[in-house]
Amino acid sequence: MQKIVDFIKKLYGSSDFIALHEPRFAGREKEFLIECIDSTFVSSVGKYVDTFEREFAKKVGSKYAIATVNGTSALHISLILAGVKSGDEVITQPLTFIATCNAISYCGAKPLFVDVDLDTMGMSAESLRDFLEKNCEILDRKCVNKSTKKTITACVPMHTFGHPCKIEAIKEICDKWNITLVEDAAESLGSYYKKRHTGTFGKMGAFSFNGNKIITSGGGGVIVTDDESLAKKAKHLTTTAKIPHPYEYVHDEIGYNYRMPNINAALLVAQLEQLDAFLSNKKETAQIYKDFFANIESMEFLAEPQDSVSNYWLHSIMLKDKEQRDKFLEFTNKNGVMTRPIWRLMNELEMFKDCQSSSLDNAKYLSQRVVNIPSSVRL
């Protein structure tokens, strides 16, 4: 394992601590921030919010983009717009960050878990189809869970670590069962499935710009959609549902203070200018890792799946078992290289342990073996 630690420190050109994923501010961030501050428009109104939304939509190939304070809020609003109500059920995957299930819970809905694929670590279309055929029926054009009698309103697959799941097949299944597809694309900016950007297959997609993402505004998120009415509704709901007026305060429904501040958008506009260079850098790093781990026994670098282009947000390796994983995590972290296990499965957490699920063999297998290794853009 010392060989691996030495290799990673050499790769990142430092004998000191190597973080898992650091932000890189190498463009016009300071220039735009100063301009934003001088303008005094630092809250949710300003030219950088408008510029970012326009440029982001263009970058991913969606018609509309609505900037929010973080990825969780983007997903929450997307689920509301998908029609998810209190008492409904939403299908997702157990191998995901907590934000996915939190957003479902904010709607008063309950997550249902289906398994993931080993090659993508994202939702398995086969597992989704099997779950629906065994447990559900269509009544009055709604997908109804036969055991709970609840409506399954939405499905939220997540593109794990930037590797696209088989989203095209998932969409076909959702359309057949009258389930609205909402993509959790928080980690997959710059990732494509069959030459189409992730987040644009579903009715809506949600992205994140947390401090550890490939581009960042410290916090921040965005909703993308091709539906004009949904885009307008998203902007309205995230602006506290305030009816536009020069001075009157009239709100026509329960809204949310979820709009991205202009000062954060200033950072993102500068970061977005560097995205292509960041993606190229991370692709090169992935190839270096792949070549290195090809010669390390019982460790496998996880490369982009078939029909996909991955942004390689977090580089990952597969170890032979949980015992080797735990030893690897302890040794690397004690020796100045930050590594992390994949998330604890959602169905194993206290608040979701009673949620219905399919067989989760793949998710369990991956959760005991996958480790993230340093993934920052190399300077």
For residue range 210-247, list pLDDT tens digits in order. 999 999 999 999 999 999 999 999 999 999 999 999 99
Q: Same CATH fold, 29-273 and 2-19+275-346+357-373?
A: no
Q: What is the pLDDT of residues 358-373, one digit of tens each?
A: 999 999 999 999 999 9
Is residue 139's pLDDT more than 90? Answer: yes
Q: Which long-range contacts (CB under 8 A, 24 or more apart) does 350-353 make?
A: 351/105, 352/101, 352/111, 352/113
Taking the C-alpha atoms of residue 249 and residue 255, their distance in angstroms, rounded to an integer, is 13
Instruction: Locate the DSSP E strands across 93-220.
Output: 110-113, 136-139, 142-145, 152-156, 180-184, 192-193, 196-197, 204-208
Taking the C-alpha atoms of residue 154 and residue 111, their distance in angstroms, rounded to an integer, is 10
* The overall pTM is greater than 0.85: yes
CATH number of 2-19+275-346+357-373: 3.90.1150.10
Taking the C-alpha atoms of residue 277 and residue 363, their distance in angstroms, rounded to an integer, is 33
Please provide the average confidence, as pLDDT, over all residues in the chain.
97
What is the per-residue pLDDT for 15?
84
Q: Where are the domains of the chain?
A: 2-19+275-346+357-373, 29-273
Q: What percent of the chain has pLDDT over 70?
A: 100
Question: Which helix (H) or strand (E) element contains residue 301?
Answer: strand 299-301
> Residue 65's beta-bridge partner residues?
224
Any idea which fold 29-273 has? Answer: Aspartate Aminotransferase; domain 2 (3.40.640)
What is the per-residue pLDDT for 243?
95
For the chain, what's the residue count?
379
- For residues 189-210, b (16+ Cβ closer than 10 Å) or e, as one string? bbbbbeeebbbbbbbbbbbbbb
Is residue 24's pLDDT more than 90? Answer: yes
Taking the C-alpha atoms of residue 315 and residue 97, their distance in angstroms, rounded to an integer, is 16
What is the per-residue pLDDT for 89?
98
Q: What is the pLDDT of residues 301-349, one digit of tens each?
A: 999 999 999 999 999 999 999 999 999 999 999 999 999 999 999 999 9
